[in-house]
Amino acid sequence: MSEKHLFFDGCDTVALAQKYGTPLYLVSLSDIEEKVRQLKDAFTERYENTRIAYAGKAFLTKGMVRIIDRLDLCLDVVSGGELDCALQAGFPPERIEFNGNNKLPWEIDLAIKNGVGRMIIDGFHELDLIIESAKRHGYTVPVLIRLTPGVSADSHDYIVTGKKDSKFGFPIDSPALFETIERAMDSEWTNLLGFHFHIGSQLEDNKVYLDSLDIVFDLLRKLRKEKNFAPKELNIGGGFGIRYTEESNPKPFDYFFTPVMEKIENFFQQEKLPRPHVVTEPGRSLIGEAGRTLYTVGSMKEIPGLRHYVLIDGGMNDNIRPALYQAKYHVVNASKFDEEPSELYTIAGKICESGDILAKDVLLPPTKPGDILAFYSTGAYNHSMASNYNKIPIPAVVLLYQGKDELLVKRQNLEELHQNDLIPKLVQEL
Ligand SMILES: Cc1ncc(COP(=O)(O)O)c(C=O)c1O
């Protein structure tokens, strides 16, 4: 133990790097618990008929599934793989909600066979598949329909999903939406509960949620008049922004939920209808700041007058976000945490891509090969987006809790890396 080092959830990060090797993802259970408590305080504890479904795409492993279960949350999955992970970890299927813009027949079947709690319909064709599967399994499926309200959210284009020109959901005025609503209302195999929207990710302004609600309310008025339909459930998605760097401006949960719930309650009061169950689907805001990644500094390269590169033992394989969305991170030298940051460095990975730069122009104390660097707020969309490009194994994930540490995911080894490779006869006979 040394005061010089960075501590995370009561653990010395440099000692963790020595014990487990680097790159290494760290996840703090205390931080997850704290974020969930904050969200419950602002939402489920404050309003009746509400539910939180953690968006597994942000970070999902069997251990994480158990944590979500123990914290009494529901789980949003978007693929057969995420669903299988949840089921294998023993998560109750009735608390699973299935999103995704092109669910495959086998994925739909796996979900319906297991009696998942909600299917979020994303296209007309998908509804056919759901009905066929529901008939086969004799299960009337509770469904919501995903809408794209057409508001523009102030976030990176790749993580904005609620605008009209989107591969997700149905624009409010699309003829296919009305056909889907009619079909889902008429079929004895689907129980249409209501609607879902998810506007985008890393959002810092509540206005986009409120504007989306206005648009959804227009649709609800129309449906009430024309089809006598009143929703029992409304899912407002996730997307709440977190702190990545000093420039981030994240807001507490009640900044979003107070006006959103007020608006929803007012609308249904005016319409003289019971307020539907309200669901939120956050990923990043529950796990993002609970994660950090450790790297070991290898070579350093100074290009005089231009840049001082610090080369680390990971890169875009374990954190694709800087290359994909120009995402920025707060970085510290965990070995010299007590020293003043005084030198400007650019941190580059070891992947054979010039775009493999994890952080440009960050201030660190004078840094040397062998030092441990820590990237903050890497809990979401890092491990879940990791790849084996350049045949590099995916790092381990260690769970921390008040000074204790335990593996959540083992580091991939070289054997596992090639375990699906075959040398076909055609090749052997060459
Ligand atoms: C449908 C849906 N729900 C929830 C989320 C979670 O978003 P976030 O992690 O920003 O809260 C996403 C993220 O893309 C999504 O597409």
- Please report the DSSP string for 304-369 in residue order: TTTEEEEEES--TTT--HHHHH-----EEEGGGTTSPP-EEEEEE-SSS-TT-EEEEEEEESS--T
Antiparallel, parallel or unpaired: β 233-235 and 190-197: parallel
Q: Is the C-beta atom of 155 inside 6 A of ligand 1?
A: no
- Measured from the CA of 283, which atom of ligand 1 is nearest? 9
* Residue of 170, 196, 198 best suited for mutating to test ligand 1, as the one with most atoms within 8 Å of CB: 198
153 and 203 belong to one structural domain = yes
The whole domain housing 18 covers: 7-25+288-410
Residue 166 belongs to a domain: yes
33's enclosing H/E stretch is helix 29-42
Q: Is the C-beta atom of 239 inside 6 A of ligand 1?
A: yes
What is the value of pTM for the model shown?
0.96
287 vs 152: CA distance, rounded Å:
25
CA 138 to ligand 1 center in whole angstroms: 30
316 and 256 belong to one structural domain = no
Q: 167 falls in which pLDDT band (50, 70, 90)?
A: confident
Query: Residue 106's pLDDT is what?
Result: 98
Residue 429 belongs to a domain: no
Average pLDDT over residues 219-245: 97
Residue 68 belongs to a domain: no
Structural domain ending residue among the three candidates 230, 264, 280: 280
What residues act catalytically?
Answer: 352
254 and 271 belong to one structural domain = yes
228 and 104 belong to one structural domain = yes
Residue 50 belongs to a domain: no
Residue 344 belongs to a domain: yes
234 and 334 belong to one structural domain = no
- Measured from the CA of 161, which atom of ligand 1 is nearest? 16
Residue 111 belongs to a domain: yes
Q: 151 falls in which pLDDT band (50, 70, 90)?
A: confident
CA 5 to ligand 1 center in whole angstroms: 34
Q: Is the C-beta atom of 200 inside 6 A of ligand 1?
A: no
What is the CATH number for 251?
A: 3.20.20.10
Summarize pLDDT for 38-55 with one digit per residue, the tens: 999 999 999 999 999 999
Residue 32 belongs to a domain: no
Q: Is the C-beta atom of 335 inside 6 A of ligand 1?
A: no
Number of structural domains in the chain: 2
Q: Is the C-beta atom of 395 inside 6 A of ligand 1?
A: no
71 vs 93: CA distance, rounded Å:
16
214 and 301 belong to one structural domain = no
What DSSP state is assigned to residue 227?
H
- Measured from the CA of 286, which atom of ligand 1 is nearest? 11
112 and 249 belong to one structural domain = yes
Q: Is the C-beta atom of 161 inside 6 A of ligand 1?
A: yes
- Measured from the CA of 288, which atom of ligand 1 is nearest? 9
128 vs 135: CA distance, rounded Å:
11
300 and 214 belong to one structural domain = no
225, pLDDT greater than 80: yes
154, pLDDT greater than 70: no
Q: 21 falls in which pLDDT band (50, 70, 90)?
A: very high
257 and 168 belong to one structural domain = yes
Structural domain ending residue among the three candidates 280, 299, 326: 280
CA 286 to ligand 1 center in whole angstroms: 11
* Residue of 32, 157, 209, 284 best suited for mutating to test ligand 1, as the one with most atoms within 8 Å of CB: 284
Q: 293 falls in which pLDDT band (50, 70, 90)?
A: very high
Q: Is the C-beta atom of 204 inside 6 A of ligand 1?
A: no
CA 248 to ligand 1 center in whole angstroms: 19
369 and 249 belong to one structural domain = no
What is the CATH number for 341?
A: 2.40.37.10
**CA-nearest residue, atom 10 of ligand 1:** 239
CA 122 to ligand 1 center in whole angstroms: 14
CA 285 to ligand 1 center in whole angstroms: 10
CA 237 to ligand 1 center in whole angstroms: 6
295 and 190 belong to one structural domain = no
Q: Is the C-beta atom of 198 inside 6 A of ligand 1?
A: yes
* Closest alpha carbon to 126 in 146, 148, 108: 108
166, pLDDT greater than 80: no
Structural domain ending residue among the three candidates 229, 260, 280: 280
168 and 258 belong to one structural domain = yes
Residue 313 belongs to a domain: yes
Q: Is the C-beta atom of 349 inside 6 A of ligand 1?
A: no
**Dihedral-angle region of residue 338 (phi above 0 means left; psi in -120 to 50 means alpha; beta otherwise):** alpha
Q: Is the C-beta atom of 130 inside 6 A of ligand 1?
A: no
